[in-house]
């Protein structure tokens, strides 16, 4: 009998082969975009000295290191991710920052056994939207939390609300001459009713979901174009090879409207989600 397919196999392949090279190469630019959003989720988690935390979908580990600083030498942070290349970069960052209280493991947060009631808090910066079975994943994470343990994450609202995606996407598809494809798993927690239902079915209580609207960015036009070329928008555009370069040129032209003396800024519409294990 054939083995059952590994959960999240497609996401594991994507984040290892496609996502990792882009996120590793564009770390500095992406940090400029997402760090201020992650900070709001960190404020919501309110890490305390001495606590044990998990950073789910930690990627190259930038937020994980911030959490490690917040819990101090008596505390510790475990960064978990399915992307081996991004974890290798995260380990290098931790060594360079001389933070021995942080550890990174290759682990699918949906299935990995983190141990029962070991952790005070679970954090994620855009790392929880990709689970094949979100209820199973959050139930699994919940088991790792001590009673009354906290969860806080930041995720995107609907694609239409996120300028960082709609502005380049609409510019590109105006040129390509078709409608953009339906939103990807990146937006799977865009609807608060769905998020609430997933978390309560997974056993969480005290669920709160607050909007976060912020203009982020600050890179120059070349840097922001590089983000769009290498990221999700670029992958969609390259499916139309004969029109791809014209579409990228139209994105660049459109972005000029968002240029300021401090760089290009676009709106990021997010949810800050918090909950507790009962
Ligand atoms: C959008 S990136 C965010 C990375 C990082 N949190 C940051 O903000 O820089 C999403 C991350 O989630 C990870 N991821 C996706 N599915 C996962 C899963 N089932 N378990 C653990 N990590 C996962 C990906 O490998 C990727 O590193």
CA 146 to chain centre: 24
Q: Quick one: which atom of ligand 1 is closest to the CA of 62?
A: 9
Distance 56 CA to ligand 1 centre (A): 7
Say what the pLDDT of residue 55 is.
98
Q: Cα–Cα distance between 96 and 26 in angstroms, integer?
A: 19
Say what the pLDDT of residue 4 is.
76
The stretch 52-80 carries a mean pLDDT of: 98
Asked if the structure places residue 243 within a domain, the reply is no
The stretch 249-258 carries a mean pLDDT of: 97
Pocket test for ligand 1, best of 23, 82, 106 (most atoms within 8 A of CB): 82
Pocket test for ligand 1, best of 81, 110, 155 (most atoms within 8 A of CB): 81
- Banded pLDDT at 184 (limits 50, 70, 90): confident
pLDDT digit string (tens) for 216-235? Answer: 999 999 999 999 998 889 99
Asked if the structure places residue 134 within a domain, the reply is yes
Task: Please check the confidence at residue 2 and state whether its pLDDT lies above 80.
Answer: no
Q: Cα–Cα distance between 219 and 66 in angstroms, integer?
A: 22
The stretch 142-168 carries a mean pLDDT of: 97
Taking a C-beta distance cutoff of 8 angstroms, is the pair 240, 247 a contact?
Answer: yes
CATH number at residue 28: 3.40.50.150
* 83: nearest Cα among 15, 137, 129: 15
Task: Please check the confidence at residue 212 and state whether its pLDDT lies above 80.
Answer: yes
> Nearest residue CA, atom 18 of ligand 1?
108
Lookup result for tokens 């999700």: 232
Angle at which helices 163-176 and 244-255 pack, to 10 degrees?
130
Asked if the structure places residue 117 within a domain, the reply is yes
Task: Please check the confidence at residue 126 and state whether its pLDDT lies above 90.
Answer: yes
Asked if the structure places residue 256 within a domain, the reply is no
pTM score, whole prediction: 0.96
Asked if the structure places residue 171 within a domain, the reply is no
Asked if the structure places residue 176 within a domain, the reply is no
Task: Please check the confidence at residue 1 and state whether its pLDDT lies above 70.
Answer: no
Distances (CA, A) of 195 to 35, 53, 69, 71, 238: 23, 22, 29, 28, 32
Full domain range(s) for residue 106? 9-157+183-215+269-276
- Pairing of β 145-156 and β 263-276: antiparallel
Q: Quick one: which atom of ligand 1 is closest to the CA of 60?
A: 9
Lookup result for tokens 């922001």: 224
Q: Quick one: which atom of ligand 1 is closest to the CA of 109?
A: 20
The stretch 24-33 carries a mean pLDDT of: 94
Distances (CA, A) of 34 to 27, 137, 139, 266: 10, 23, 27, 12
Q: Name all residues whose Cβ lies below 6 A of ligand 1.
A: 8, 11, 15, 34, 38, 56-60, 62-63, 80-83, 86, 108-110, 125-127, 130-131
* 138: nearest Cα among 57, 212, 83, 61: 57
Asked if the structure places residue 222 within a domain, the reply is no
- Banded pLDDT at 94 (limits 50, 70, 90): very high
Asked if the structure places residue 229 within a domain, the reply is no
Distance 154 CA to ligand 1 centre (A): 12
Distance 86 CA to ligand 1 centre (A): 9
**How many structural domains comprise the chain?**
1
């Amino acid at each position: 009998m054939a083995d059952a397919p590994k959960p999240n196999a497609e996401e594991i392949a994507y984040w290892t082969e496609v996502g990792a090279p882009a996120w590793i190469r564009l770390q500095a630019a992406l940090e400029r975009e997402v760090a201020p959003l992650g900070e709001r989720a960190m404020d919501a988690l309110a890490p305390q000295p001495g606590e044990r935390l998990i950073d789910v979908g930690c990627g190259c580990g930038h937020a994980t290191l911030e959490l490690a600083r917040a819990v101090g030498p008596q505390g510790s942070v475990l960064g978990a991710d399915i992307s081996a290349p991004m974890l290798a970069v995260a380990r290098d960052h931790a060594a360079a920052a001389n933070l021995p209280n942080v550890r990174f493991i290759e682990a699918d947060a949906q299935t990995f056994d983190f141990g029962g009631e070991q952790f005070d808090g679970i954090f994620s910066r855009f790392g929880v939207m990709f689970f094949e079975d979100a209820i199973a994943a959050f139930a699994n994470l919940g088991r790792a939390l001590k009673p009354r343990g906290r969860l806080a994450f930041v995720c995107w609202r609907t694609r239409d609300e996120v300028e960082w995606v709609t502005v380049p996407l609409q510019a590109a598809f105006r040129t390509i001459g078709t409608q953009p494809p339906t939103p990807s798993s990146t937006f799977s927690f865009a609807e608060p009713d769905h998020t609430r239902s997933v978390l309560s079915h997974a056993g969480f209580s005290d669920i709160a979901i607050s909007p976060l609207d912020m203009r982020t960015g600050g890179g120059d036009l070349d840097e922001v174009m590089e983000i769009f070329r290498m990221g999700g928008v670029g992958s969609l555009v390259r499916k139309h090879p004969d029109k791809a370069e014209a579409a990228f040129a139209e994105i660049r032209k459109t972005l000029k409207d968002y240029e300021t003396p401090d760089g290009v800024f676009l709106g990021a519409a997010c949810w800050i989600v918090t909950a507790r294990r009962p």
